[in-house]
Amino acid sequence: FNSLNHDMTLPEFKFIWYMEYSHRMWGRAVGLAYILPAAYFWRRGWLSRPLKGCVLALCGLVCFQGLLGWYMVKSGLEEKPDSYDIPRVSQYRLAAHLGSALLLYSASLWTGLSLLLPQHKLPETKQLLRLRQYAHGTTALIFLTALSGAFVAGLDAGLVYNSFPKMGERWIPDDLLAFSPVLRNIFENPTTVQFDHRILGIASVTAITALYLFSRKIPLPRRTRMAVTSLLTVAYVQ
């Protein structure tokens, strides 16, 4: 209100406040949904030794996620007397919060599916080993692309250029390396952040397409084929 939205009304502020409040309450509900059943199952002796370690790690990650969210929001409330920029949270903390959430979600899904579905026993052929390695590499690329999206959001970098595939009239913008030192551009220059996100997004879709085409050459269980096809579909929708 002091820096930007001088004409904001109380109902408009309440809308933002309730969005934030709902997000916090939902996060706390997720925490309880993890911790309370985990304590009950632990007390009843229903958890194996390896699963106990997994449950502890997941519960710890839930608590860490909440702490990281508070740390992120705190950065948007800090007074910056030397800055006349729009108040916003740190893009570094936003990326950390998103990355932690993705890890938590993926670990939860992996643990749940491991318990619900029996593991396929497949012959360890060279092709299967290569497919597994390529899938891991594609996963890392997708994760990196998502994190780069957090930097786009944190810097409002999506507002800099809104044309595609070119950025304005150029394939490579003039101000791509405007900041010094050069490394700072990757994390703090809105143009570079948007450019990187575009390149990573295209690279992710390309890698997923290649993964799908490679998987078609290997005899795989129906469940695995469904997973690869679903990944391809979601990638193109995204």
How much is the pLDDT for 85? 63
| CB 223, CB 236: distance < 8 Å | no
pLDDT category at 84 given cuts 50, 70, 90 is low
Model confidence over 112-127: pLDDT tens digits? 999 998 887 878 888 9
Q: Which of 8-17, 63-72, 73-82, 104-113 has the lowest mean pLDDT?
A: 73-82
CA–chain centroid gap for 233, Å, is 19
Instruction: Indicate whether 82 pLDDT > 70.
Output: no
Residues 31, 94: Cα–Cα separation, whole Å: 20
For 155, which DSSP code? T
List, in order, residues 6 or more apart from 237 with CB less than 8 Å away.
Answer: none
The rounded mean pLDDT for the chain is 92
CA distance 91 to 194: 13
Q: What pLDDT score does 172 carry?
A: 93
Residue 97 CB-density burial (10 A; 0-12 exposed, 13-18 middle, 19+ buried): buried
pTM of structure: 0.86
The whole-number pLDDT of residue 119 equals 80
The encoded tokens of residue 161 equal: 């250029």
- 19 torsion bin: left (phi>0), alpha (psi -120 to 50), beta (else): alpha
pLDDT confidence bin for 81, thresholds 50/70/90? low
* pLDDT single digits (tens) 163-213: 999 998 899 999 899 898 999 999 999 999 999 999 999 999 999 999 999
pLDDT of residue 15: 95
Q: Where are the domains of the chain?
A: 1-100, 118-237
Q: Is the pLDDT of residue 40 over 90?
A: yes
pLDDT value of position 151: 95
**3-class DSSP assignment, residue 231:** helix
Position 70: which residue type?
W
Can you read off the two tokens belonging to residue 198? 């575009």
